[in-house]
Amino acid sequence: MKYIIANDQLTTGAIDAADEIVMFPRSSVLSIDLSSNTGTDIHAQSTSNVDSTVVLSIGHATVDSFTGDRAQRQMIDDIVKIINMENHSRGYNVIFDALNNVSILNATTLGVDEA
Amino acid sequence: MRTPYIYFGQKGYFNTPGVAPTSGVAAITTTTIANSGLLTDAKANSVDPTTLGYRVVHVAGDQVDDARGTDYTTDFVTGALFNVDGDSNHNQDDKFIGDVTNLTSAAAYISGNSNGVITIGDNTATGAVGSVATGVTMTTSDTVIVEQFTRNLFVGNGNAAAVVSSNFAFPMSNFLGANPKAYAKTHYDGTALDQTDLHFLQDTGEGNDSIITLIHTAGKYPDIVKTMEAIANCSVYNRAITFFDLDYNGREYYAGGPSLSGNNDLGIIGCFKTVV
């Protein structure tokens, strides 16, 4: 089993605080969808409450254009690729890492919301 | 454990027979995410819906003289001029069974007021909108079809008004089943239609399933089931498999039928998430 670890890009005040750092197995992912014109969400079953979710919100350019529309569609493919990737040599893959300036194409921000 | 992902773009579709005018206007049943994937956005009287990414199409179910606005001269499906058979009793404003009219005259509509209501004036100029040129006097034998044809803000079938039509990807490991639903309607091109609901684990973590509703050519339920099985077992893990998509320019994309041909083998004409 592979796991997803994420921290909110803007807030890392306390490691045990809500909406900051989460970890969950990739089998907990429930869906990926468009949440706003500039945001795509990854919904996963919450580790603290199985009747709730953790939402990773990935920011991107507006989808209100043909280019933005197709870029967001491509982003979903890139997310799926990372979630499903078997990387035995390195042991991890990155969806978004602001500190090291590594991310999937077109992602600009990452937020964490523990509902 | 890896799992294939399935992807759905939205295309709103609403098919309602039996709408007749009252006091000169006919109010179409409110479109909602649940019944059509359409929240037709604020719509001023002077706006042609085709400029907002959806079309309102009238299909005549009976023959009535002098019922259609004179602005409309050609059949939307065949492209032929209305009633050019040379019969002196037949005029272009007479509707005949099977006539298909794309209602594009802006003056035929009253404001949707952000509430999903489309109101169409008759052609007698007795109501708030519509005129001899722009309205259509419907009967309960007629059908009105509202169809989204581009992904954009205006049909409002995203998570809120003024959000671009949403899209969804689910892991196939969360697929719960396909449920055929009573529909029994006919598309404007004469194709008989069915509805199938695809159920997935709810993406809010609790409560009812997430449901993707498909409106498609009648009799395709077995092929939809086989297509879902093919996607579940396709061993493609590096992208989401597109079951259906509609892009900003109006192009549609398909998985195809059980062979995953990439063509519209299932006759998909509507695809929307009915439980949000």
Domain chopping of chain B, boundaries:
5-11+162-275
- Nearest by CB to residue B205, choosing from A36, A37, A51, is A51
Q: What is the pLDDT of residues B46-77, one digit of tens each?
A: 678 888 888 999 999 998 888 888 889 899 99
Q: Is A77 on the interface with B (CB under 8 A)?
A: yes
> Scanning every residue of chain A, which has its alpha carbon at the shortest distance from the alpha carbon of B238?
A81
pLDDT, mean of residues B117-128:
81
Q: Is A29 on the interface with B (CB under 8 A)?
A: yes
Q: How far is CA B139 from CA B63, B65, B86, B234, in A?
A: 10, 12, 26, 49
Mean pLDDT of chain A: 85
With a cut of 80, say whether residue A11 has pLDDT above it: no
- How high is the pLDDT of residue B215? 98
Helix (H) or strand (E) holding A76: helix A66-84
- How high is the pLDDT of residue B206? 84
Contact B237 A84 (CB under 8 A): yes
Longest dimension (CA), chain B: 72
Contact B164 A63 (CB under 8 A): yes
- Nearest by CB to residue A27, choosing from B1, B7, B203, is B1
Banded model confidence at residue B91, pLDDT cuts 50, 70, 90 = low
- How high is the pLDDT of residue A5? 83
- Nearest by CB to residue A84, choosing from B203, B238, B248, is B238
Contact B245 A27 (CB under 8 A): no
pLDDT, mean of residues B247-273:
95
Q: Which chain A residues are closer than 8 Å to B247 by Cβ?
A: 66, 69-70, 73
For residues B17 and B145, what is the distance between their CA atoms, to the nearest angstrom? 8
**How many percent of chain B have pLDDT more than 90?**
53
Q: What is the pLDDT of residues A18-62, one digit of tens each?
A: 777 788 889 999 999 998 999 999 999 988 888 899 999 999 999
With a cut of 60, say whether residue B113 has pLDDT above it: no
More confident residue, B162 or B53: B53
**How many percent of chain A have pLDDT more than 70?**
90
- How high is the pLDDT of residue B175? 97
- Nearest by CB to residue B164, choosing from A26, A64, A77, is A64
Contact B151 A52 (CB under 8 A): no
Q: What is the pLDDT of residues B198-228, one digit of tens each?
A: 999 998 888 889 999 999 999 999 999 999 9
- How high is the pLDDT of residue B159? 63
Q: Say what the ipTM of the complex is.
A: 0.92
Does the global pTM surpass 0.90? yes
- How high is the pLDDT of residue B89? 56
Contact B201 A30 (CB under 8 A): yes
